[in-house]
Structure 1
Amino acid sequence: MARVAMIPGWAAKGANGYVLAIVSVGLALLARLGLEAFGKFYYLPLIPAVMLPALLASRRATALAIALSISANVFLVPRESVVDAVVNALLFALVGAAIGEIGRARRSLQARSAELKTQLSLRNATIHAMLASAPVVTLDSRSRIVAISQPACALFRTTERDARGRAFQDFVEFFDAGIIRSAPPGEYSSDQYWLGRRSDGDVFPLGIQLAFTGEPENSEAILTLTDLSLWHSAELRSQELSDQLNQVWRMNSLGEMAAILSHELNQPLTAAASYLQASQADLGKAGILADSASRTVELAKSQVLRAGAIIRRARDLLMVETQPLEPERMSSMIDDLGPIIQLLGPASDASIQIDIDNIEDRVMADRIQFQQAIVNLVRNAVEAVAERERREVRLTGRPTCPDFYEIRVEDSGPGVPPDQVERMFEPLMTTKSDGMGLGLSVTRTIVENHGGTLSVGVSPMGGAAFMFSLHRAKGEPVQ
């Protein structure tokens, strides 16, 4: 009987309950008849007959068992006193009813227990799934790691064995253990991020949310971790895009300013060229003594005209359309820059060496823009060696193959820092306190308009080497 009652969820329902009541009473009566030789037991052997339907069947089946037991006892055991028979029957009925209610309560508790076990199993499975997929750490009241999930181990690049028992401060810089002790029951989260430290020393931004199992002073804390590296990178990228947008706005403003300056400066430069031409004519009337002065005026006039051409090219550079490239001799274009380049050297006490191959030097170029690019590169090189003990700048030009002619501007300066190589050609990027950050950007644009690429490397002289190639004019083979 006890073994049957322990089977979870088993119960005699409907007619089966009544059959169970009849059978249990019959078996109890047989047991009682067997015990008659030892004395009068009356209702005692019939109590198990009531317990069985009470544990496994309904109230009606239990009531049937009680009624059958009383009827059988009254019929089989004659009593001298009717009152005694009635009292014993009532007592048995009350005991049987109590047993029935206890059985019913037991069945209800068993059903509730089974339901709670199912819910607990489901909850444990859910928690296990969460721990298997989320970085979670459990800390004691002293901020020592009690448990850590595999994703959390992967986040810190450690193992559960190495992490268990260690202080959480070993993995999160400046983590305040007082947060666990002082935070109110419930959850804690903050907009700030912490700095997590991996086992290899790598530091990354980390978000932490805490939940407490009870009073913070004596309970464990469950920490849910979030790697904020991607968010932090996105924030930095957003700032970079904002800076680039500001640069575009400034470049647009510079473009408008350049157009205005081009228009305004062309008029006085044209007037200055006219005055110089008139002065040259007057000097020509003065005779032989004025020849030297006339040559000086001629040089001044050529530079004024060149300044006007540079301004026009700068304006064209800001426009979508580009000037067509024409065959030019490299040696001729560099020779024209000779006076300007030689003026750059003494200003910084720098030695400027020019070595241009003038045999096979016909290239496709815009003469004015190309000369502007060369002046920018040489000026930067001279400024780079200004504070060096060895002040040398070298400008070289060589045909590298049948299709290209290479230009190199090298110096003995400090070179370009590796962290600035990728950004040094960006507009408005400068390392000089008085620089505008336009020289290299404009130079790169000019080189790209010529179909080349401006690059920077390390010079054998110890400083930087800027180089680019121009397309050679067709019809000139390499000897």
Structure 2
Amino acid sequence: MHALIDTVPDAMVVIDGEGSIRSFSKGAEEMFGYGEADVQGENVSLLMPSPDRENHDRYIRRYLTTNEPHIIGIGRVTTARHRNGNTFPIKLSIGEIETAEGQGFVGYIRDLTESHATERELHTLQSELAHVSRISSMGSLATSLAHELNQPLTAVANYANAARDLLDEPGEENMALIREALEQCAAEALRAGQIVHRLRDFIKRGETERQIVSLRRIIQEAAALALMNGDGKGVDFETRLDASLDKVLVDPVQLQQVVLNLLRNALEAMLESPHRQLRVITTATEKAFVEVTVADSGPGLDSKIADHLFHPFKSTKSDGMGLGLSICHSIVQSHGGKIWVEPSDLGGTAFHFTVPLAETGNGDD
């Protein structure tokens, strides 16, 4: 049996009904950095980051009591914890087995960090996220603005040039023409502003396909995407997710775009930090909303930048276009929530946003 387990290319871990590790394949040894002798009889939660590490035994008891599978036979993308403390994205599948000692479980674990299978596992999700980003930013913004603003801006330039030429002969008749040209110039400028406002309102009111989904799962999958390609190496990543606030009424692709953007921004902000700590927390807020906080231990934000951080084309990155946080702002607002930034308890920056809970959400909004 063990010889067969060791031929499995991915990690394979067998546990008993109490969560204790009974078998640990060669693939698991390479993936997690433990030898089988190191983990034999240990609780499998040592392979998990918080909060799964603290809650795993409760998950098993709930399944054994209710026989309702939340992950068994389903599989999901989540995160795991290496012996050195680093977290990394995985595809986890769990099956149930009967042994001479009683009921047990077998977990098949695929490391998505540098695997070619990553593109196949997450291709659809990444394509949807990229599509949301393109439509929300460059598609609507550049094309619509370039087309609709061309006429009023051309008119402004023409009227201004005409007024300048008339000033060469500032007679009474020409002064009347100059005044008329400037009035037309102001009117065309106002028209350009109305076009921008109309486009902004259109984007903000864009329809969303809301569903009742698990906030925990959205955060876990976004974390797996953010930690791909070794971006989470050396990062102390932790989630504190309130189980009573799990069901939300949102467009899952758009919400995942928000979480993913905030996580990637936090990872980039901490590149030069000696201690890299990243935390995601969910807490209750008023009016049946849940508040999500993404906090890091980076250098923090200048207060002057923070005031304009969610405006388009305002970026803290030298090569950034400043659209990522603007998109997050639009998505959160379209769900009736709000987004803001504060100093983090970890020493860096904390982004907060709210989305509606499913229990009292209105699907017609």
Quickly name the TM-score band, shorter chain normalised.
0.3 to 0.5
Q: Normalized per residue, which structure has more strand?
A: 2
Larger radius of gyration: 1
**Given the two structures, how large is their TM-score scaled by the length of structure 2?**
0.46
Higher relative contact order structure (alpha carbons within 8 Å, sequence separation ≥ 6): 2
**Given the two structures, how large is their TM-score scaled by the length of structure 1?**
0.36
